[in-house]
Amino acid sequence: MNKNNPYNRNKISPRVREGKGISELLQLFRTENNLDQGLNEFDVYEAWKAVLGPGIISYTQDVAFKRGTLYVKLSSSIVRDELSYGKDKIVKMLNEELKRELITAIVLR
């Protein structure tokens, strides 16, 4: 076998040779290319929409996620006050939707 051949089986990355599953390879790709923050922010926004529903989404002006904290800007002070009473429950529901412990706190603005 030609050693300069790019298709030489000996040149395959050890990670691929180990038989990693597609989900493991995608996670590895996310981490190695520093995509986690952006994808996590997208996942958190989608979870916010799924858990809180269209009623709250209509009052949501901005959602940002940084270092475990979810920042949500709401257009209604009444909705903000009502949601502030259930922050811990909302964090739990969002993490369940995400299927991982990603959110540690919520700041409502």
Task: Give the domain extent around 103.
Answer: 23-108
Q: Are residues 87 and 106 in contact, defined by beta-carbon separation less than 8 angstroms?
A: yes
CATH code of the domain covering residue 67: 3.30.300
Single out the residue of 1, 4, 29, 5 nearest to residue 16, CA to CA.
29
Q: Answer yes or no: is 76 within a domain.
A: yes
Domain count, the chain: 1
Q: Answer yes or no: is 7 within a domain.
A: no
Q: For residue 96, give the amino acid letter.
A: E
- Residue 101 tokens read as 């412990």
Q: Answer yes or no: is 50 within a domain.
A: yes
Task: Report the C-alpha gap between 72 and 106 in whole angstroms.
Answer: 7
Q: Answer yes or no: is 2 within a domain.
A: no
- pLDDT tier at 16, thresholds 50, 70, 90: low
State the alpha helices, DSSP H only, in the chain.
14-17, 22-32, 36-57, 77-84, 87-98
Single out the residue of 90, 77, 108, 100 nearest to residue 50, CA to CA.
90
Q: Answer yes or no: is 11 within a domain.
A: no
Q: Answer yes or no: is 15 within a domain.
A: no
Q: For 47-99, how does the pLDDT look when each residue is reduced to its tens digit (9 = 90+)?
A: 999 999 999 999 999 999 999 999 999 999 999 999 999 999 999 999 999 99
Average model confidence (pLDDT) across the chain: 87
Helix (H, G, I), strand (E, B) or coil at 45: helix
